[in-house]
Amino acid sequence: MYSQSDFNEIEKGSPPSVPFPKPSAPPQPSSSTSTVVTGIPVVLDNPSSNNHFPDYASAGNDNGGNVASSTLDQSQHQQLQHPVPWSSGLCDCFDDCHTCCLTFWCPCVTFGRIAEIVDRGSTPCGVSGALYMMIMCVTGCSCLYSCFYRSKLRGQYFLKESPCTDCFVHCCCEECSLCQEYRELKKHGFDMSIGWHGNDERQKRLSTMAPIVEGGMTR
């Protein structure tokens, strides 16, 4: 506690000398990070974790249907990049002798039927056939008119431009090109003799027809 010299100083009226502790060095920050509880959620970054990168794999799994549908659309788009071939060749006229004879004797009828189907009924067969016959009689270049319908037909069914350009095919072999286009439309299910509206009515009847049940009820 206090020594004799301290009592002597008190008697003289001077306060005793009280030893003060030596100032210590300021506290050093701890190397370990401590979590302070403040009631506010805090996200701690972990360098060893990969959570800061987007999880593309899980996103693909969660949206599996969307990814599959987009892949299907891309595959369909890639298929459309390559035109399909014609169902018959340019010189396969004798595969359908009836069409071959009709085109040889009356090409205006064959063209008129083709034009009506390609135009989806907007131009009647008689009008297109008469215009074709008039151009053939006046100028002799009806192929310049019919080649446009070949291009239109190819665009509707995405057919190849073969064996050469549409205009050149019709100029070199008008009858063969008309027969090929006629057979192509028949291949797609059209009855060329009844025209566009006839095929439309037939399709409506088939779609509304009740299914036929074969055989009676059996026990």
Residue for token pair 């009847």: 205
Cα–Cα distance, 75 to 78 (Å, whole number): 5
Whether 173 maps to a domain, the answer reads yes
Nearest to 192 by CA among 132, 72, 109: 109
Query: What per-residue confidence (pLDDT) applies to 111?
Result: 97
Query: What per-residue confidence (pLDDT) applies to 208?
Result: 83
Task: Label each residue of 71-98 as H, E or C.
Answer: HHHHHHHHHHCCCECCCCCCCCHHHCHH
pLDDT tens digits along 133-168: 999 999 989 999 999 999 999 999 999 998 889 999
Cα–Cα distance, 170 to 177 (Å, whole number): 6
Mean pLDDT of all residues in 71-89: 67
Whether 175 maps to a domain, the answer reads yes
pLDDT tens digits along 119-139: 999 999 999 999 999 999 999
Range of the domain at 136: 106-207
Query: What per-residue confidence (pLDDT) applies to 71?
Result: 42
Whether 76 maps to a domain, the answer reads no
Whether 90 maps to a domain, the answer reads no
Cα–Cα distance, 90 to 100 (Å, whole number): 12
Burial of 41: CB neighbours in 10 Å, binned 0-12, 13-18, 19+: exposed
Whether 136 maps to a domain, the answer reads yes
Whether 178 maps to a domain, the answer reads yes
pLDDT band at 53 (very low <50, low <70, confident <90, very high): very low
Please enumerate in sequence order all residues whose Cβ is within 8 A of that of 111, keeping only pairs 6 or more positions apart, or say none: 128, 129, 132, 142, 146, 149, 178
Q: What is the CA radius of gyration of the chain?
A: 46
Whether 23 maps to a domain, the answer reads no
Whether 75 maps to a domain, the answer reads no
Nearest to 143 by CA among 116, 166, 174, 114: 174
Q: Is residue 86 within 8 Å of 159, Cβ to Cβ? A: yes
> How many domains are there within the chain?
1
pLDDT tens digits along 168-189: 999 999 999 999 999 999 999 9
